[in-house]
Structure 1
């Protein structure tokens, strides 16, 4: 297992040729220390684990790794099948230029107008928005912003070695980037 910057892991997700709406995720607070844990996976791409913390309101730092090559029968029940209380998540690459941003805004405007004019569901709107923005990965997510869902604890137990290694790497990153005392 190779530990890398969390943004490199997201880059792997963005660059995968997988069905964008086949992704699922589970996340919440870290069990030990500041920050958050996020597991996300796709049946044909694998399972990834990232640990992050907000250094300040404008900068997130973290580490991550691929922890499994696929979602097998043992892992499948640990990821949500449908949107629940945690909702949905999406990954999006930044726009390359102003023309691309304007095209995306036009597509998004059309989607919102279509949903405003016809009966719809929140899930259908979300999926159409993700399609309009060419999101490479989105799907249901079990997430607790104030705690840690049971599924995240079960994933941490399943990937215990990765959990310990990523915790140590993130703790080192936090220690290097946090100033203590007065200057």
Structure 2
């Protein structure tokens, strides 16, 4: 995909509009107006609205992967530190790229088959990072349960924060990550 700064800016603006209006209700005319360009000019950067949606989700998922990988490289190599790091990275993604994250969560089903097939490897890579960290925590006895269920529970809880979390509120993302780890961790015996 074209990685020009203008296309990236248009992608960010489209993400905001998709969050506000929903993908189905967002028209090409609305996108062009939000972006400050003529409708025809939009097609200089994207083939159609479907490609815009794919670009929003791709950029957001790539950012989430980059944040998660960097955070894991910088943390202690203990299962608890890595679990905390992944939770913190996920929350960081919500703070730095909220619109793209919300679009990926709620509009993934709107992607056409070709775009879904193209983007599945990014989603799968992100989920694989979570599964690796959860496997380590399970093996260390830090948490217990079925990996599939634990990963869905954790990611579901983190994803839901887009609905209620206030970054200017009393709890920092680090506080939330710490609380999450404490909730799912097995008490010391």
Q: Taking structure 2 as the reference length, what is the TM-score of the superposition?
A: 0.27
Bigger RCO (CA 8 Å, 6+ sep): 1
When normalised by structure 1's length, the TM-score is: 0.27
Q: Which has the larger helix fraction?
A: 2
